[in-house]
Chains A and B, each alone.
Chain A
Amino acid sequence: MTRDITFGQYYNVNSFIHDRDPRAKLFITFAYLIGLFLSRSYYYIGGMAIFLILYSLMARLELPLVLRTLKPVRLLILVSVLLNLFYGAGDVVLSVGPIAIKETGVKSAILIGSRMVLMIMFSSTLTFTTMPNALMDGMEKGFSWLKLFKVPVSELALTMSIALRFIPILKLEMDRIMDAQKARGMDFENGGYIKRVKAFTPVIIPMFVSAVKRSEALAMAMDARCYTGGEGRTKLHPLRYKKEDIILYMLGIGIIAAGIVL
């Protein structure tokens, strides 16, 4: 239990954005994503990039930190940009042998590339500035209108936050079982691909058994603590808007409006 596993990527500083209501942050994030796809104007995209930088500054997030979130998806971005570059119409800008790059290709490559980059970076500010629990609370409240359509929003939110809480436990459990099988002479490192995949049977089955047992135990413990579903539950820290939260809503509306106009 000595190893410290934290889930999510909450960046623990105090800032104006950190203090905002998760619902307001969810709203501006969605507004930003929608805005990106409303306009094809370079000025608008440029403005959105500047907005991202200002927003990160307000959240006291360093730019390298936000940039790092692109790393896992860099290949995907590159492939999308290249695909768009080669499929295009209009005047030929550049040709090397049989490959020709055309004007619309360049345009859509720039557009898709910058949209993807901004989209991922802005979404990351949401998880950097909001604790997973608060995010779940925000979603529960923010989507509570779905209850009208019989969507069990509260139950889903609780399920999600419990699932998040169990990830580090299951990770530890997996390490324990792997160690136990290694102690019985199992070799996870060597051998071909098939052999290594096969080597996971002795890990997967005990993991599965353990997950089922733990969920039964948890269900029992929740029953013992009078859980009967979302109906009639209260909250220790209910979400309450502050005056400043309106700023994020206004910015969000501004982003969408500008996207429609430009």
Chain B
Amino acid sequence: MKLFDIKKLTFEYFRRDEDGDVSEVVEALKSIDLSVKKGDFISIVGGNGSGKSTLAKHLNALLFPTGGQVVVDGMSTDDDKNILPVRKKVGMIFQNPEDQFVSSVVEEDIAFGPENIGMPSAEIEEAIEGVLKLLDIETLKKRDPLKLSGGQKKKVAIAGALVMKPDCLVLDEATSMLSETEREELLLLLKKLNSELGMTIINITHNMSELAASDIVIAMNEGRVEFTGKPDKLFNDIALMEKCRLSLSPEKKAELDELVNINSHIGRDDTFDISEALIFDKVSFSYDGRVNVLEDISLALHPGETLGICGHTGSGKSTLLKLANGLLTPTDGTIYYKNKDITEKDYDKAGLRKHVSLVFQFPEHQLFEESVIKDVTFGPYNLDISRVEAEKRAFKALADMGLPDTLYDISPLALSGGTKRKVAIAGVLAMEPDILLLDEPGAGLDPVSRMELFILLKKLQRDRGMCIVLVSHDEAEIEMFCDRVIRLERGTILE
């Protein structure tokens, strides 16, 4: 029995310039033919901008084809009267749960869907009890969804979809911001929904390790479906993997291997010079004066090394980075940089940030200037250097991130996600820091873009001798990329 029957699906939209005139017609989906059986577990993979999300939004009538048609369980989405039944049948989970909650109480948020379709109060209550039990989150019923952990938020969002008793669940990069264990837990849950309730699961992901769980993998590239079939068949087709931005080309892979091995000795022997290092000495930190987010952390960052930090959401990783460049001050303990105590009141914090720079999660959210070049020069202009020197640094940083000069005068907001990320990182690199702290720099990027980013960073490190600290919850990636790795759990370093 077919759940989705998609024929020659084409989707175009207009890109407009500043005056509102059509400057370009973008063909996001190009004549897609696809059929999905009821009860299948499907993964959709492909590079950033390959059309995965656009396709997903056609599955539950959030977008409508400009050509061809989408039929869901016998109902064409072209017919207006089918829109609500289709949306009820196909539940959708988006990437960021914060953007899909409508209420500040879990049970009221889950109730939103049933309320919309006019379900009587008593039935809503019963349905909520059911999904809370199914997902084993009964204790969260009265909590504020915003104050839950990443994994719990995801479950609440899923509950909000399941309560409509859908036949199918579509997850758009739902696992991307979860830690390893949270991700595994979520996949187990999806597996359970699939095998026990016969629910069709469509999981859009960048994480190749999730594919093994699926019956069928769909690989997309530039708006086309390039592959539909068993996961191992995809993994064996190296050329296709490369085309769909799922794995690096052999040459690039060799380059990365070589770069990764350059500095592996640093930090392991005791001959380093501590006068150049950033040292955490028994540092504790608390936001509210009661619970310590970090406790008794001792750590040294040396020039030229790559340190990886991994741990759950809320384990204190990001807090550690903010302490290192003086955005936060420890509640206990001291931090030294080049033999000076940076926690002293009269220490020049702004001066510290010229040497120790922090790239935040989703750094592209901080872009604000009207052109790429202006945005990248913003940082260096804040330094005590001449404007010419500042511009030189900006050009160098842009070149280092592999961004062509044709982009310099374009608005950063008009760029694609991966390019935006590189511009944002260039904006920090232009400060020419000695220590570069990166918080989940690869989040949301496709596998190849991630690896390419790491190659660029490693090259920079080789040429400039800077220290890189990388926070990530992808442990495999961190192991591969870093010279040494520390694990944080509930604010302490695990040995």
A and B found bound together: yes
Chain A residues within 8 Å of B117, by CB = 226
Q: Which residues of A contact B350 (CB under 8 A)?
A: 185, 187
Complex Cα–Cα for A43 and B105 (A): 44
Q: Which residues of A contact B431 (CB under 8 A)?
A: 184-185
A-B contact count (CB 8 A): 159
A185 in contact with B99 (CB, 8 Å): no
Which residues of the partner chain B approach A162 to less than 8 Å between Cβ atoms? 102
CB distance B121 to A225 under 8 Å? no
Most buried by A among B100, B114, B366: B366
Give B57 Cβ to nearest chain A Cβ, in Å: 8
* A148 vs B60: C-alpha distance when bound (angstroms): 34
Most central of A165, A205, A224 by chain B CB within 10 Å: A224
**A225 neighbours in B (Cβ, 8 Å):** 87, 112-113, 116, 160-161, 164
**A222 x B354 contact (CB < 8 A):** no
Establish whether residues A184 and B367, one from each chain, have CB atoms under 8 Å apart when the complex forms. no
B116-166 residues at the A interface, CB under 8 angstroms: 116-121, 124-125, 128, 146-147, 160-161, 164
The yes or no answer to A46 lying at the interface (CB within 8 A) is no
Interface presence of A234 (CB below 8 A):
yes
Q: Is the CB of B62 within 8 A of A185?
A: no
Asked if A95 lies at the interface with its beta carbon under 8 angstroms from chain B, I say: no
Docked-complex contact A234 and B314, CB < 8 angstroms: no
- Report the bound CA distance from A30 to B368 in whole Å: 45
The residue in chain B whose Cβ has the minimal distance to the Cβ of A158 is B102
Chain B residues within an 8 Å CB radius of A222: 102, 112
- Taking a contact as CB atoms under 8 Å apart, the answer to whether B125 and A226 are in contact is no
CB-based contact B365/A234 at 8 Å: no
Q: Which of A169, A227, A228 contacts B146 (CB 8 A)?
A: A169
Q: Is B88 part of the contact surface with A, judged by Cβ < 8 Å?
A: yes
Min CB distance, B291 to chain A, in Å? Answer: 8
State the CA gap A185–B293 with chains docked (Å): 26
Is A236 a contact of B125 with CB atoms below 8 Å? yes
Bound: A164/B350 CA distance, A? 35
User: Which residues from chain B contact A3 at a C-beta distance below 8 Å?
Assistant: 287-288
Say yes or no for A65: interface residue by CB 8 A criterion. no
Cβ of A14 under 8 Å from chain B:
no
- The listed residue (B100, B113, B366) touching A217 by CB distance below 8 A is B100
Report if B378 contacts A (CB, 8 A).
yes
Q: Which candidate, B90-98, B189-197, B302-310, B400-408, is the interface stretch facing chain A?
A: B90-98
Supposing A177-B366, A182-B353, A227-B116 touch, asked if A133 and B105 sit within 8 A by C-beta, the answer is yes
Verify if A209 is at the interface (C-beta below 8 Å from B): yes
A76 at the interface (CB under 8 A from B): no
| Interface status of A168 (Cβ within 8 A of chain B) | yes
Is A183 a contact of B98 with CB atoms below 8 Å?
no
Complex contacts, A234 vs chain B, CB 8 Å: 114-115, 118-121, 124
Residue B84 CB within 8 A of the other chain: yes
Known: A4-B147, A177-B365. A220 touches B322 (CB 8 A): no
**Contacting pair B121 A224 (CB below 8 A):** no
Q: Can you list 28 A-B pairs, Cβ within 8 angstroms, ordered by A? A: A2-B293, A2-B319, A3-B287, A4-B288, A132-B104, A133-B103, A165-B146, A169-B98, A180-B366, A183-B325, A184-B378, A184-B382, A185-B350, A187-B382, A202-B368, A205-B368, A206-B367, A209-B413, A210-B365, A217-B94, A221-B100, A222-B112, A224-B87, A224-B91, A226-B87, A228-B84, A233-B115, A234-B115
Taking A201-B368, A206-B366, A228-B116 as given, write out 5 further A-B residue pairs in contact, using a Cβ cutoff of 8 Å, ordered by the A residue number: A2-B287, A169-B146, A180-B365, A185-B379, A233-B118
